[in-house]
Amino acid sequence: MFLSRCPNQNVDLRHKIRDMKSAHFHNRASTLASMLRQTSRILDYIYPAHCHLCQCPLTHGRHLCEPCSESLKYTQAPFCKLCGECYDGDISSDFSCPNCNDLKLDFEFARAPLHSDGQSRTLLHDYKYRRQIHLSDTLGDLLSIGLDDPRFAPYLDEGILVSVPLHWARLRKRKFNQAEEMTICLKKKTGLPYINALKRIRNTATQTRFSRSKRLENLRDAFELRAKYKNYIQGKRIILVDDIFTTGSTTHECSKVLLHHGASSVAILTLLRG
Ligand SMILES: [Zn+2]
Ligand SMILES: [Zn+2]
């Protein structure tokens, strides 16, 4: 009765409940992910690791052998200066692809070290949907290859790492956020700070079959900045990490929120380029 008489308080209360649910499931998922990481380390110690793709035994603490690692399809220049789409041919100057010519994307550029096909897709799929969290360090190593792009240099000097968030309902189902886990590996490798700055406030439908415009519409206002990070990101360069770049709609929406709240620029790093 009280709630029905106070519509503003009603909305505030709903927001508070939503924030509490989001924080609750994020904390639970972080704890669970950390337990899974520790368990997989203990198992690696008792049972030496095997290559995830060819099953050969390994001793270097990773889950991909050298031949399998070398057989992955790495992206190579020339690629679109904005979305990172690769092109065959001999283009030495900066160019943007036809897709990007009539788009407004809020990030500075996007890079991914691997094409999304065959073995690399198997790795990500097993990691993400079959909860193979022991692949975190292996995939984090592969992801970090993308940072060799010289355009990341100013970001590596003074940047912040942020990952694309999952909605709490999806996090509850999946138990860990694959983008966040890989970002934690990057934090160890680069020494850059990582903050869980964004939250997904709408559990959007899966985007796989949508056109680009439909994806953007589907994602509008789906992300928010966590208020406690507002001061922290002022004037900062942000490396935004996700698992796969397809049309750029998700990373564009996240970049929009970060820039709106005062970040100076955003560059995108994803494991795969779809
Ligand atoms: Zn192998
Ligand atoms: Zn492009």
- pLDDT band at residue 126 under the 50/70/90 scheme: very high
Q: What is the mean pLDDT of residues 148-174?
A: 95
pLDDT at 266 over 80: yes
- The answer to whether residue 22 is domain-embedded is no
Q: What is the pLDDT of residue 3?
A: 42
Structure tokens at 228: 């406690």
Q: Considering only residues 199 and 4, tell me which one the structure prediction assigns the higher pLDDT.
A: 199
pLDDT at 128 over 70: yes
Task: Please list the residues that pair with 163 across neighbouring strands.
Answer: 241
Pick the ligand that lies closest to the CA of residue 111.
2
- The answer to whether residue 176 is domain-embedded is yes
CA of 182 to the centre of ligand 1 (A): 21
How big is the CA angle at 156 (ends 153 and 159), to the nearest 5 degrees?
120
Pick the ligand that lies closest to the CA of residue 69.
1
- The answer to whether residue 264 is domain-embedded is yes
Across the chain, what does the average pLDDT equal?
A: 87
- The answer to whether residue 240 is domain-embedded is yes
Task: Please list the residues that pair with 54 across neighbouring strands.
Answer: none
CA of 220 to the centre of ligand 2 (A): 21
Q: Is the dihedral of CA 204, 207, 213, 216 positive or negative?
A: positive
CA of 98 to the centre of ligand 2 (A): 7
Burial class (CB in 10 A: 0-12, 13-18, 19+), 199: buried
Residue count of the chain, please give it. 274
Q: Which residues form the domain of 179?
A: 68-273
**DSSP letter (8 states) at residue 241:** E
Q: Which of 79, 75, 82 has the alpha carbon at shortest distance from 120?
A: 75
Burial class (CB in 10 A: 0-12, 13-18, 19+), 267: buried
CA of 57 to the centre of ligand 1 (A): 9
**DSSP letter (8 states) at residue 166:** P
CA of 96 to the centre of ligand 2 (A): 5
- The answer to whether residue 56 is domain-embedded is no
CA of 68 to the centre of ligand 1 (A): 4
How far is the C-alpha of 40 from the C-alpha of 1, rounded, in Å?
51
Task: Please list the residues that pair with 89 across neighbouring strands.
Answer: none
CA of 67 to the centre of ligand 2 (A): 31
Residues sharing a CB contact under 8 Å with residue 216, sequence separation 6 or more, in sequence order: 249, 252, 253
Q: What is the pLDDT of residue 16?
A: 65
- pLDDT band at residue 5 under the 50/70/90 scheme: very low
Q: What is the pLDDT of residue 204?
A: 76
Structure tokens at 3: 């709630």
pLDDT at 247 over 70: yes
- The answer to whether residue 13 is domain-embedded is no
- pLDDT band at residue 125 under the 50/70/90 scheme: very high
Pick the ligand that lies closest to the CA of residue 107.
2
Summarize pLDDT for 76-119 with one digit per residue, the tens: 989 999 999 998 878 778 888 888 887 889 999 999 999 999 99
Q: What is the mean pLDDT of residues 49-76?
A: 92
Pick the ligand that lies closest to the CA of residue 94.
2
- pLDDT band at residue 4 under the 50/70/90 scheme: very low
Residues sharing a CB contact under 8 Å with residue 252, sequence separation 6 or more, in sequence order: 105, 106, 107, 216
CA of 141 to the centre of ligand 2 (A): 25
7-11, 140-144, 202-206, 264-268: least confidently modelled range: 7-11
Most confident by average pLDDT, 12-21, 162-171, 261-270: 261-270
Summarize pLDDT for 188-224 with one digit per residue, the tens: 999 999 999 999 998 876 666 677 777 777 888 899 9
How far is the C-alpha of 71 from the C-alpha of 51, rounded, in Å?
13
- The answer to whether residue 198 is domain-embedded is yes
Q: Which of 68, 66, 90, 67 has the alpha carbon at shortest distance from 77?
A: 90
Q: Considering only residues 238 and 6, tell me which one the structure prediction assigns the higher pLDDT.
A: 238
Q: Considering only residues 46 and 156, tell me which one the structure prediction assigns the higher pLDDT.
A: 156
- The answer to whether residue 39 is domain-embedded is no
Q: What is the mean pLDDT of residues 254-274?
A: 97
- pLDDT band at residue 176 under the 50/70/90 scheme: very high
Q: What is the pLDDT of residue 142?
A: 97
Q: Which of 155, 146, 142, 158 has the alpha carbon at shortest distance from 107?
A: 155
Burial class (CB in 10 A: 0-12, 13-18, 19+), 55: exposed
Distances (CA, A) of 120 to 68, 74, 143, 163: 10, 9, 11, 20
**Structural domains of the chain, count:** 1
Residue 243: which CATH number? 3.40.50
Task: Please list the residues that pair with 50 across neighbouring strands.
Answer: 57
